Chains A and B, each alone.
Chain A
Amino acid sequence: MSRSDLILGIESSCDETAAAVVAGGFEVRSSVVHSQADEHARYGGVVPEIAGRSHLREVHRVVEQALDEAGVLPSELAGVAVTTRPGLIGSLLVGVSVAKSIAFRWSLPLIPVHHIHAHVWAATMELGPKTSPFPAVALVVSGGHTNLYRSLAPDQLEPIAGTLDDAAGEAFDKVAWMLGLGYPGGPSVAALAEEGDPSAFRFPRYRPKPTPGNAAPRPLGFSFSGLKTAVLYHIRGQDALAPTPPPDEIRDRADVAASFQEAVVDALVSQTIEAAHREGVERVLVAGGVACNLRLRSKLTDAAEAAGLIATFPSPAFCTDNAVMIAGLGHPLLGAGKLADLSLDAAPR
């Protein structure tokens, strides 16, 4: 029997229950994503207990639908790939348990996948199997991450820099809240920013301080706490002791949204380009939910081009959590024999 190259991927690390079938790492045969957003909306964000229970309710239907849409029987798969870390432990365990039982029942290889590696793989999928993206600098930017990595292989990311405080997506959430916009803040701030002037206010772009008495270049890194505070003081009329006005009394809301977004994007762009220079790579891979942000896509693409680099983003559907990236990355991992047995466990970090 000729071995197929079809991998079933399962993702349940946060608040999306997802399954997909991908052939050979790149060819998407099916992708099913069940979002729990509605269930968490009234809490203003993901509640782990609720997420775990919801995954349990939906996972079988989602996996069956992914197999059906791909027209594939479990016996025809080459392997089952599943997110094992990082994420909410009660959510991860649901996907891991289902993947284990499918692997056991059909005697399939079980492939553990690191969620962040998979997000970066989503960007490389845009290039197709003929272009090697490595080595590259990867920017992973979402509600939980703002990190730069040296990306050397599909499952090899070495940290270069991270955030001192909030993740970029979180800064969007907090500014959205100040401006009376909905959760998640990324899309709602970006939509309001469309109507505003990004140069209306000069909000700070964080750069790490140079090490005193050291001729070495400035360290790389992110911080969004000062920016968030600057936006708050602006809204309060530069008086920290004044109360925060209700959103409908903030006259320049759109300009604030646009200027804030510009500051976040500029900080992400400058640190990423600088990291690529220092690493001597030609490619920048961008991944995570904030990679959907159109302003980031356009400014980073332009800045990369001007610097003689190429920036690659996942297609918008694969920026947020999905199982295509899990099934996709499963292929090279299977090829490299990076498999697990049925004692496979999940880990929050």
Chain B
Amino acid sequence: MAAELSLVSHSVEATEALAEALGRLAVPDTVFALDGDLGTGKTAFTRGLARGLDVTEPVSSPTYTLMHSYPGRLELYHFDAWMEGREAAFLDGGGAEWLHAGGVAVVEWASRVLAWLPEQRLEVELLHRGTPTVDEDGNVAPDAGRTVVLRALGAGPERLLAGLQLPAGISMNPKESS
């Protein structure tokens, strides 16, 4: 059984705030399986999640080391399966143990390494709604926002989703089809 919530995030800050709210609700061994095209806000989501776990260290890309851990209310394990061959070899070689080490795991490009992820997980899918513009200074301008689909697989993630209160800048998706 899966509970699903389709939302619209109206800004990067709102995506971060949504993730922060989820981070506050997370319990040990919660796994966030994150998917979305380049530029949809996966890193922003992870940044918000870290904030919700009271992680004070700045979050950066774990591509080089395959996994970064951050101390917080619960330890945050940040995976990035962009290079799927590497991440699969890493998870296979013992890295998957971090998915149930008592912390909270977030896996970017999760669909590339689904075989290693636990059945109980909160899937987060980020989708473009239009073409954003990037200004001279590299800031992505406000645009049509992103569709955010939250899919709770298993009782734990379902409870988490049921407790979620939507932060400002996040609304229910009017079109269920997108």
Tell me, yes or no, whether A binds B.
Answer: yes
Report chain A residues within 8 Å CB of B37.
Answer: 240
Contact among B39, B83, B94 with A233 in the assembled complex (CB-CB below 8 Å)? B39
Q: Is residue A42 within 8 Å, beta carbon to beta carbon, of the partner chain?
A: yes
A166/B61 in contact, CB under 8 A:
yes
**Which single member of B58, B66, B94, B137 contacts A162 (CB below 8 Å)?**
B58
In the complex, chain B residues whose CB is within 8 Å of the CB of A48: 65-66, 90, 93
Q: Are A49 and B137 in contact (CB under 8 A)?
A: no
- Kindly state whether residue B86 has any CB partner on chain A within 8 Å: yes
Whether, in the assembled complex, B56 has its beta carbon less than 8 Å from a beta carbon of chain A, the answer is: no
Given A162-B58, A204-B137, A144:B64 Cβ within 8 A: yes
Interface segment out of the listed B21-29, B126-134, B163-171: B126-134
State whether the Cβ of B9 lies closer than 8 Å to any Cβ in chain A: no
The answer, among A40, A42, A165, A205, for a CB contact under 8 Å with B136, is A205
Contact of A167 among B58, B64, B130 (CB under 8 A): B64
Chain B CB within 8 A of A279 CB: no
Give complex CA distance A247, B154 in Å: 40
Could you say which residues of chain B place their CB within 8 Å of the CB of A43? 83, 85-86, 89
Task: Check B89 against A50 for contact (C-beta < 8 Å).
Answer: yes
- If A43-B89, A44-B85, A165-B43 touch, whether A241 touches B128 (CB-CB below 8 Å) is yes
Taking A143-B64, A239-B131 as contacts, is the C-beta distance between A49 and B136 under 8 angstroms?
no
Query: Is A170 an interface residue when CB atoms closer than 8 A count as contact?
Result: yes
Secondary structure at chain B's binding surface: helix, strand, loop or mixed?
loop
A residues less than 8 Å from B39 (CB atoms): 225, 228-229, 232-233, 240
Q: Does B139 contact A (CB under 8 A)?
A: yes
State the CA gap A143–B138 with chains docked (Å). 20
| In the assembled complex, B82 has its CB within 8 A of some CB on chain A | yes
Chain A, range 263-320, C-beta contacts under 8 Å to B: 267
Let me know if A97 is at the binding interface, CB within 8 A. no
Q: Using Cβ atoms and an 8 Å threshold, which residues of chain A touch B138?
A: 204-207, 223, 225-227, 230, 267
Which A residue's beta carbon lies closest to that of B139?
A: A226
Determine whether B11 belongs to the interface, using a CB cutoff of 8 Å to chain A: no
In the bound complex, how far is the Cα of B82 from the Cα of A106, in angstroms? 46
Task: Given the known inter-chain contacts A207-B138, A226-B139, A226-B140, please indicate yes or no for A240 contacting B58, CB distance below 8 A.
Answer: no
Confirm or deny: A152 has a beta carbon within 8 angstroms of a beta carbon on chain B. Answer: no
Complex contact B83–A44 (CB within 8 A): yes
Q: How far is the CA of A78 from the CA of B142 in the complex (A)?
A: 60
- Distance from B107 Cβ to chain A, minimum over Cβ atoms (Å): 17
Q: Is A209 an interface residue (CB 8 A)?
A: yes
Within 8 A of A (CB), among B107-140: 128, 130-132, 134-140
Residues of B within 8 A of A205 (CB): 136-138
Distance A49 CA – B90 CA, assembled complex (angstroms): 7
Tell whether A114 is near chain B: CB-to-CB under 8 Å.
no
| Interchain CB contact under 8 A, B61 and A170 | yes
Q: Which residue of B lies closest to A206 (CB)?
A: B138
Contact partner of B83 (CB less than 8 A), chosen from A45, A163, A166, A225, is: A45
A47 CB within 8 Å of chain B = yes
Provide the bound-state CA to CA distance between A232 and B132, in Å.
Answer: 12
Residue A29 at the chain B interface, CB threshold 8 Å: no
Say whether B177 faces chain A, with CB atoms less than 8 Å apart. Answer: no
Contact of B140 among A49, A229, A241 (CB under 8 A): A229
B67 to chain A, nearest CB (A): 9
Q: List, in ascending order, chain A residues with CB within 8 A of B6's CB.
A: none
A116-149 contact mask (Cβ, 8 Å, vs B): 1 or 0: 0000000000000000000000000001100000
Contact A238 B131 (CB under 8 A): yes
Q: Does B173 sit within 8 A of A, measured CB to CB?
A: no
- With A88-B65, A348-B65 known as contacts, the answer to whether A42 contacts B85 (CB < 8 A) is yes
Interface centre among B82, B93, B138, by most chain A C-beta atoms within 10 angstroms, is: B138
B65 touches A209 (CB 8 A): no
Name the CB-closest residue of A to B92.
A49
Tell me the bound Cα distance from A143 to B94 in angstroms: 24
Q: Most chain-B Cβ atoms within 10 A of its Cβ — which of A47, A163, A223?
A: A47
Interface string of A160-194 (1 = CB under 8 A from B): 00111111001001100000000000000000000
Q: With both chains docked as a complex, state the minimum distance between the C-beta of B16 and any C-beta of chain A, in angstroms.
A: 12
Q: How far in angstroms is the closest Cβ of chain B from A257?
A: 17
The reply to whether the CB of A46 lies closer than 8 angstroms to some CB of chain B is: yes
Distance to closest chain B CB from A222 (angstroms)? 9
Q: Is residue B172 within 8 Å, beta carbon to beta carbon, of the partner chain?
A: no
| Shortest distance between the CB of A161 and any CB in chain B (Å) | 11
Question: Does B155 lie at the interface of the complex (its beta carbon under 8 Å from any beta carbon of A)?
Answer: no
15 intermolecular pairs with C-beta atoms under 8 Å apart: A40-B86, A42-B85, A44-B83, A49-B89, A144-B65, A162-B60, A163-B60, A167-B64, A204-B137, A204-B139, A207-B138, A227-B134, A232-B39, A233-B132, A348-B65
